[in-house]
Amino acid sequence: MIASCLCYLLLPATRLFRALSDAFFTCRKNVLLAKSSSSQVEGNFAMAPRGPEQEECEGLLQQWREEGSSQVLSTASEGPLVDKGLAQSSLALLMDNPGEENAASEDKWSSRQLSDLRAAENLDEPFPEMLGEEPLPEVEGPMWAAIPMQTDPQYADCAVLPVGALATEQWEEDPAVLAWSIAPEPVPQEEAPIWPFEGMGQLQPPPMEIPYHEILWREWEDFSTQPDAQGLKPGDGPQFQFTLMSYNILAQDLMQQSSELYLHCHPDILNWNYRFMNLMQEFQHWDPDILCLQEVQEDHYWEQLEPSLRMMGFTCFYKRRTGCKTDGCAVCYKPTRFRLLCASPVEYFRPGLELLNRDNVGLVLLLQPLVPEGLGQVSVAPLCVANTHILYNPRRGDVKLAQMAILLAEVDKVARLSDGSHCPIILCGDLNSVPDSPLYNFIRDGELQYHGMPAWKVSGQEDFSHQLYQRKLQAPLWPSSLGITDCCQYVSSCHPKRSERRKYGRDFLLRFRFCGIACQRPVGLVLMEGVTDTKPERPAGWAESVFEEDTSELEPASSRTVGTIQHCLHLTSVYTHFLPQRGRPEVTTMPLGLGMTVDYIFFSAESCENGNRTDHRLYRDGTLKLLGRLSLLSEEILWAANGLPNPFCSSDHLCLLASFGMEVTAP
């Protein structure tokens, strides 16, 4: 056994180690160190003992000489093995036994060692200068020493420790030092934030740490202190306030079917897992009380969206599109703020009707606001929320109008109160129509004359006026078998009750026996003596205008006007569709790089007749008051963010967000 001792190996100032990039150059440094011609170094080697362990040392040296060539010329991948082999041979050279002193053996051992090391230098090796490396600056004095670590009767390892005034940065940059230094203890890494939703462990947060709302800055516009169109400020009484978001989140299936629309996007940001995390970040940031979503893929809804939204405190309702479509609409609300009264899914598909052979759907919910207990015995009117996604095809405006009529009829039925009026209504969604188009004006104004209108003009998405053949709308727009009147109401809602039909009995009809029209001789009436040859005489005191007074009672309740449709819901848009600060129109989507507005939030309010008003309030407040909205962006800003989708907004639409207040009244 080799006894423990301490040997200091000092390097003169004329020979410095160079920073090398792998274990091969580290081994070269060891050779140069042992080959040094310094008298001090040779003296230290000369002190190496020649005792019983000489044969063992010579055997190790012989093995190192035979294998050194192949080890030095090995590839970089074998660097750790080379380093380990040379380290062991160098360790054997540094071992000594102070118990035995023999000068002759010392000289023999020193000369053999130096000759072997000089022979190793003759190997064909590349020098660091050939690689373009700059030599390190010379530093006077010893730099580092090999210190044997005594952990056992035998030497287990050899560690290199800095000696002198060498800076820490130089040691860290020198690959030789890195190769010799003791491996530091592993530092425990901070645990990554865990997504707070169950079953979402496989989904990693998006790499972007900057929230999207700090890049695409959208301002919150507060209207709570602004006067309405009549110059009146909102009352100081209690209000039930809530926020509603409408968002087309872009179904993954539809995106893959129309991949040519997203060539400007990096494939990573189109990945559903990345998009899902961004969408959930938006929901969490804005924290709406009611969430209306379009293009919700069915499997994503049931597997990820619905469980995640449920954990965020939402109750969700979903309606998939009919046919083989894989996406649909969803309406989610917080049960802590609302109580569900009824939910009505709406399907626009009608078998046998060519006008209604599309698979779009809608969803209508009637919610009862929950007033905090601190307000005492007060009540709030119900709220009707409608969400839909209308057909996209720009050429089929007739289909768009028919689908909207069905939705408005359902809203009229759900929102109608016992006295015939309507509760507050919010209608939102992707309507695939631009502002001031005939469809938009129909929703806002409540009336549209459509007869003879080109079908493409209804939505205003594209201009097909250059085409020779253009489909034009004809009256009636939809058949009576649909069961919806031109006032966008179900026929069953307009028919008189059974008890009211008794007024059409015999006594009621006899009242018209001597009216003006009954006393006129019909044209072409065959003259028959005693039957049609005399004119009936009106008795004295019989009113001649009885028929005219009761005409309204005789008209069918489902009468249809020619070429005109109407509704009586009194809706207006939350957004003005123009950015006065930038002088640019608002944008909610950018298909093929062209910005336009197709997403809307309409709510119950009376529109102003004065269109020259310069403020934001182009309506009169009713039971439902608009308190604020999230501003939209212009086309230029979205272009600066590489359009939609982008790393911050994971849909090809922007979300719409508005805050409302409802009057709280005493019972």
- Give one DSSP letter per residue of 452-518, joined into a string: T-BGGGTT-SS--TTSS---B--SSSS-GGG-B-TTS-BHHHHSPPGGGGGGGSHHHHHTTTTSTTT
Run of H or E residues at 576? none
| 596: pLDDT strictly greater than 70 | yes
Q: Which residues contact 116 (CB under 8 A, 6 or more apart)?
A: 61, 64, 65
For 545, which DSSP code?
A: T
pLDDT at 104: 45
Total domains in the chain come to: 1
C-alpha 64, offset from chain centre:
63
For the residues 175-184, what does the mean pLDDT come to? 36
Give the CA-trace dihedral at 277, 196, 218, 443, to 10 degrees.
80
The dihedral through the CA atoms of 478, 479, 483, 487 has a sign that is positive
Residue 260 neighbours by CB distance under 10 Å: 7
pLDDT at 67: 59
CA–CA distance, 648 with 282 (Å, rounded to integer): 10
pLDDT at 391: 98
pLDDT at 97: 45
**Residue 16 domain flag:** no
CA–CA distance, 401 with 393 (Å, rounded to integer): 12
- Cα distances from 566 to residues 8, 292, 485, 570, in angstroms, run 102, 26, 9, 11
- Report residue 23 as tokens: 């274990």
What's the one-letter identity of residue 413?
K
- Cα distances from 270 to residues 54, 279, 284, 651, 652, in angstroms, run 70, 12, 21, 9, 11
pLDDT at 281: 95
- Report residue 513 as tokens: 């026996």
Specify burial of residue 486 (Cβ count, 10 A radius: 0-12, 13-18, 19+): buried
Band the pLDDT of 234: cuts 50, 70, 90: low
| 642: pLDDT strictly greater than 60 | yes
**Residue 399 domain flag:** yes
**Residue 83 domain flag:** no
The CATH number of whichever domain residue 345 belongs to comes to 3.60.10.10
**Residue 295 domain flag:** yes
Nearest C-alpha neighbor of 450 from the set 469, 477, 431 = 477
User: SS3 string of 245-264?
Assistant: EEEECCCHHHHHHCHHHHCC
Mean pLDDT of the chain: 74
- Per the structure, the complete domain to which residue 431 belongs is given by 212-492+557-665
Instruction: Summarize pLDDT for 336-353 with one digit per residue, the tens.
Output: 999 999 999 999 999 999
What's the one-letter identity of residue 378?
V
The alpha-carbon radius of gyration of the chain (Å, integer) is 44
Do strands 656-663 and 239-248 pair parallel, antiparallel, or not at all (unpaired)? antiparallel
Range of weakest confidence among 135-139, 261-265, 473-477, 658-662:
135-139
Band the pLDDT of 526: cuts 50, 70, 90: confident
- Cα distances from 309 to residues 104, 283, 393, 511, 635, in angstroms, run 88, 9, 32, 64, 31
Residue 637 neighbours by CB distance under 10 Å: 17
For the residues 125-152, what does the mean pLDDT come to? 45
Instruction: Summarize pLDDT for 89-109 with one digit per residue, the tens.
Output: 444 444 444 444 444 444 444
Instruction: Summarize pLDDT for 465-474 with one digit per residue, the tens.
Output: 998 889 999 9
- Report residue 527 as tokens: 């003259």
For the residues 218-247, what does the mean pLDDT come to? 77
Band the pLDDT of 227: cuts 50, 70, 90: low
Query: Which is more confident, 33 or 511?
Result: 511
Asked if residue 649 lies in contact with residue 216, where contact means CB atoms within 8 angstroms, the answer is yes
- Cα distances from 516 to residues 16, 508, 533, 545, 550, in angstroms, run 127, 16, 18, 7, 13
CA–CA distance, 633 with 509 (Å, rounded to integer): 64
pLDDT at 310: 97
Instruction: Summarize pLDDT for 554-565 with one digit per residue, the tens.
Output: 444 455 668 999
For the residues 153-174, what does the mean pLDDT come to? 39
For helices 438-445 and 397-415, give the axis angle rounded to 10 degrees: 20
| 58: pLDDT strictly greater than 90 | no
- Report residue 166 as tokens: 């060498």
What percent of the chain lies above the pLDDT cut of 70? 58
3 state DSSP class of 608: coil
Instruction: Summarize pLDDT for 248-295 with one digit per residue, the tens.
Output: 999 999 999 999 999 999 999 999 999 999 999 999 999 999 999 999
Range of weakest confidence among 86-95, 411-420, 653-662:
86-95
The dihedral through the CA atoms of 611, 614, 620, 621 has a sign that is positive
pLDDT at 523: 77
Q: Which residues contact 223 (CB under 8 A, 6 or more apart)?
A: 616, 617, 626, 627, 628, 629
Band the pLDDT of 580: cuts 50, 70, 90: confident
Q: What angle do CA 25, 26, 27 make, to 5 degrees?
A: 90
Q: Which residues contact 497 (CB under 8 A, 6 or more apart)?
A: none
- Report residue 128 as tokens: 């660091």
**Residue 131 domain flag:** no
CA–CA distance, 440 with 401 (Å, rounded to integer): 10
Helices (H) and strands (E) in the chain, counts: 19, 21
For the residues 411-434, what does the mean pLDDT come to? 96
C-alpha 228, offset from chain centre:
35
pLDDT at 641: 87
Specify burial of residue 199 (Cβ count, 10 A radius: 0-12, 13-18, 19+): exposed
Instruction: Summarize pLDDT for 441-451 with one digit per residue, the tens.
Output: 999 999 999 99
CA–CA distance, 475 with 219 (Å, rounded to integer): 45
| 614: pLDDT strictly greater than 70 | no
Nearest C-alpha neighbor of 62 from the set 105, 113, 27 = 113
Asked if residue 170 lies in contact with residue 135, where contact means CB atoms within 8 angstroms, the answer is no
- Report residue 383 as tokens: 């709220």
Band the pLDDT of 527: cuts 50, 70, 90: confident
Query: Which is more confident, 39 or 590?
Result: 590
Asked if residue 302 lies in contact with residue 258, where contact means CB atoms within 8 angstroms, the answer is no
**Residue 456 domain flag:** yes
**Residue 139 domain flag:** no
pLDDT at 85: 47
Beta strands across the sheet bearing 624-630: 220-222, 624-630, 656-663, 239-248, 290-297, 327-333, 315-320
Specify burial of residue 533 (Cβ count, 10 A radius: 0-12, 13-18, 19+): exposed
**Residue 254 domain flag:** yes
Q: Which residues contact 150 (CB under 8 A, 6 or more apart)?
A: 4
**Residues paired with residue 365 on neighbouring β-strands, in sequence order:** 343, 385
pLDDT at 118: 52
